[in-house]
Structure 1
Amino acid sequence: MAAYQVKDKSFATIDEYFDYMAETFGYTAYHRSFTSDTVDSDGLKLHLDIYEHDKNAPTIVLIPGTALYSLCYVEIMYKLGVHGFNFVGFDPRGHGRSEGTRGDYTIEEIMADAQNVITYAIDRFNPKVSLMGSSQGGIVAFYLAAIEERIQSVICQNFADLTDTDTMNLSRYPNLTKFIKPLLLGFGNGLFSDAQLPISMYLDLEKIKIKRFGNAKNFMDQDPLVLKSVSIKALRSLTKTPIPKNPSEISTPVMVFQGTDDTIFPVEYTQSIYDKLTCKKHFEIFENMNHALITDNVEEIVPPIVEWLKEIYPES
C-alpha cells in the first residue's frame, strides 16, 4: 500500500517521492546526502534531516517557514554544508514528518522545538551552533536570538515583531486580518482554538512565484507533506507573540536577507527593525528576487551567507 499519494502517482516512501521530483525536474537528489534522526520535544518526536561535514565543524540548525518542512530547503542546506558546515534541519511539531496535530502549534512551541534541536546539535557535534530560518522560521530564529545564549548567530530570511501593528500588512488581506485579530484573540485559547483555517486565507500563495511549479499554491497542492491549513491557535500566536527583548537589546549577531520583490515582507518593514539592532548585523538585499529566493536562487544567496558564517567562525 502506498504511503504517499501525489495526484496520480503513488510512492511507498517519501524518498521515492523526492527521487521522482528530482528526476522529473532535472535537479540533483540532494536528499540522498542527508541522514534522518529524531529528537524529543515536549513528548513529541521531531524529524531531523542531518548533513554531516565534520564533527568539529560549526552546525547550522534550520527552521522551516509556514507549512513547510526541512527538506524543502535541501539544496541550500547542502550547498552551504559543502562550504564547511554541518546542518540539522527539523520539521516543527505538527509539520512534515514530526509528531503532533497537523498545523496546530504556537510560536513559543516552535521556539521550544528549536531549542531542543540546538541541544541535539551540541550533543552530536559541538557547541558551535547558529540558527537559520525562513519566513516564519526567520521570525522564530530572530526571537531566539534574544534569549538563547548557546547560539553564535542567526541568519533570517525575513523577520518581524509579531505584536507590531505593521505586521497586520504582512498577509493576503490586511484589512481582513485587522478584522479577525480580535476574534483570534478571543477564540485562540478557547473552544474553537483547534479549528483550522486554510493558509490561503491569509497568504496569497498564487503571488509567490516558485520555479518548476509556477507558484506556491501549485507546489502546496501537490506536495504530500506540506500543511494546507493551520489552527486558530497558531494564527492567534502569529498575532500576539511578543519578541522576548527589544531589538536594541539583542547581542547575538544577526544577518537578515530578502528580495526586493517579496510580496509578504516589504524591504522597508525589514529595514525598520534592522535599524533598531545594535548587535553585529548585516542586511543583504537581493534585487528582483521574491519570497521564494531561498529555494529558487540558491546560487546567488549562498556566497553572502558563507561570508557571514566565516566571520562568525573564522577558524572554519
Structure 2
Amino acid sequence: MDFESIGLAIKSFDDINIHYKKNMVDNPSAIILISHGLAEHSGRYDYTVNKLNSFGYGVYRYDHRGHGLSDGRRGYLKDTSYLFEDLNSIVDLIKSENPNVPIFLLGHSIGGHSLAGFGCKYKDKVNGMVFSSPLVCDSGNWFDFYDYDDEPFLSVPVPNPHSLSHDIKAIDSYEKDSLILDNLTIEMYKALSISCDNMVSDLKNFTYPCFIVHGSSDTIVSCEDSKFFYENISSTDKELRILNGLYHSLLDEVVKDELLEEISKWIEVRLS
C-alpha cells in the first residue's frame, strides 16, 4: 500500500483554488472524501487517513475556502452554497479519477453541514455519508450571540480548543498548529446562521444512506442537531449514535480507533 500524501489544487466553480490531498492504496474498495471542521484544515486528519488507508480505502481531503492552504480570505464566507459547490467540485474530480469505485463522504462539524447541503441538492452522486458532530440547525443557538449588523470582516474568536476532546495530546497539537484559525469573520457566522435556518426545510430532500455520530457532551454543536437531522431527512438507510460523555472532535477523541472501526464496518456493509 502507498500511504504517500500528494498535495494538489483544483479550481472550484468560481475559479478559486481549493487545496486537496489524496492518499491512495492499491485497488481501493472505496474512496473516502473528508470534509473538515470550522477553523481547522485537512492536515488535522493524518491519523484518520492512515487508519482508513489500512482498511483498504483511498482517501481524498480538502481545505475549505478561507482555511488551510486553500485560497480565500481567512475565516470569511459570504454564502454556504460556496461550500456545497466546492464539495461538488471535489466529488466530480474523484469520480473522474476513480471510475466505478464507490465514494463515501466523511464530514465533521461544518464539514457535516457541507455534506448535508450537498446531499439536499445533488442526488445519487455518492454511495453514502458519515457525519461527525454535524452542524445542522444550530439547536444550541450558538449564532444568536452575534450582531450581524457589524462590519462583515469583524474578527470573532473561535471556540476554546479544550472543549474539543478529552485527549490532551490532541489539544496540544491543535494549539500549536499554525494553520488553525484563531479568528473567524462575523460574515462567516452570518452565512452559517442563515444556512442553518434554510436547512430546516431542505432536509426532506436528503435521501443518502448515512451514519451519524455525536458526543452527548459536545458544547460547540449540540447533539440535538444530529437528532434533528436523523428525524427530518428522507433517508431509509440511516443510523444515529450519541456517544455518552464525548466532546466535539470525535476523530480526535480517546475512542477514535473504535469509532473508525465502526465507520469502516458501516461502509463495508454498503459495499457488499
Please state which band the TM-score falls in when normalised by the shorter chain.
Answer: 0.7 to 0.9
Query: CA offsets per residue over residues 192-224 of structure 1, 9 Å max, x none?
Result: 22332222xxx3433333524474xx5544211
TM-fit CA distance, 1:312: 2.2
Distance 2:221 2:34 in 1: 20
C-alpha deviations, 1:244-276, integer Å up to 9, x for none?
863333211121112232222333442233122
User: Which structure has the larger Rg?
Assistant: 1
Secondary structure of 1:209 counterpart: coil
Q: Please give the per-residue CA displacement for 1:99-137, whole angstroms capped at 9, x wherever unaligned.
A: 221111242212111111111111111252221111111
Measured in 2, the distance between the counterparts of 1:74 and 1:288 equals: 25
* Distance (Å, rounded) in 2 between the aligned partners of 1:62 and 1:121: 12
Q: Which moved more, 1:241-250 or 1:128-137?
A: 241-250
**What residue number does 1:301 align with?**
259
- Describe the shift of the 1:244–1:77 C-alpha distance in structure 2 as closer, same or farther (beyond 3 A): farther
Superposed CA deviations along residues 280-300 of structure 1, whole A, max 9, x for unmatched, are 101123333221221233211
Structure of greater relative contact order (alpha carbons < 8 Å, 6+ residues apart):
2
- Contact 2:216-2:245 at 8 Å conserved across structures: yes
Deviation at 1:179, TM superposition (A): 4.9
- What amino acid maps onto 2:131 in structure 1? C
Instruction: Give 1:229's match in structure 2, choosing from 165, 179, 183.
Output: 183
Task: Give 3-state SS (helix, strand or coil) of 1:243's partner.
Answer: helix
Offset, 1:65: 0.1
Q: Secondary structure at the match of 1:37?
A: strand
Of 222-231 and 289-298, the range deviating more from structure 2: 289-298
Query: Could you say which residue in structure 2 is the equivalent of 1:126?
Result: 99
Q: TM-score, normalised by structure 1?
A: 0.75
Give the equivalent residue in structure 2 for 1:148. Answer: 122
Partner of 1:193: 152
**Alpha-carbon deviation of 1:230?**
1.3
Distance in 2, Cα, partners of 1:90 & 1:38: 9
* Percent identity for Structure 1 against Structure 2: 19
User: Which residue, out of 13, 25, 48, partners 1:53?
Assistant: 25
Task: Give how far 1:55 is off.
Answer: 5.0
C-alpha spacing 1:178/1:213, structure 2 compared with 1 (3 Å) = same
Q: Distance in 1 between matches of 2:251 and 2:65?
A: 22
Give the corresponding residue for 2:43: 71
Cα distance between partner residues in 1 of 2:244 and 2:69? 34
**How do 1:199-214 residues align onto structure 2 when only pairs under 5 Å count?**
199=158, 203-213=159-169
Does the C-alpha gap of structure 1 residues 108 and 55 become closer, same or farther in structure 2, counting only changes over 3 Å? farther
| Structure 1 residues 84 and 214: alpha-carbon distance in aligned structure 2, compared to 1, 3 A threshold | closer
Contact 1:103/1:230, CA 8 A, preserved across alignment: yes
Which amino acid is 1:138 matched to?
G
> Are 1:284 and 2:241 an aligned pair?
yes
Counterpart code for 2:87: A
How does the TM-score come out when normalised to structure 2?
A: 0.86
Distance 2:222 2:245 in 1: 13
Q: Helix, strand or coil for the counterpart of 2:178?
A: coil
1:39 aligns with 2:5: no
Distance 1:53 1:267, change over 3 A: same
Secondary structure, counterpart of 2:267 in structure 1:
helix
Aligned residues: 263
Q: The residue matched to 2:95 in structure 1 has which SS?
A: helix
1:85, distance to aligned residue in structure 2 (A) = 1.2
1:311 counterpart residue number: 269
Unaligned segments of structure 1, at least 5 residues: 1-30, 172-176
Residue 216 (structure 2) aligned to one of 215, 236, 260: 260
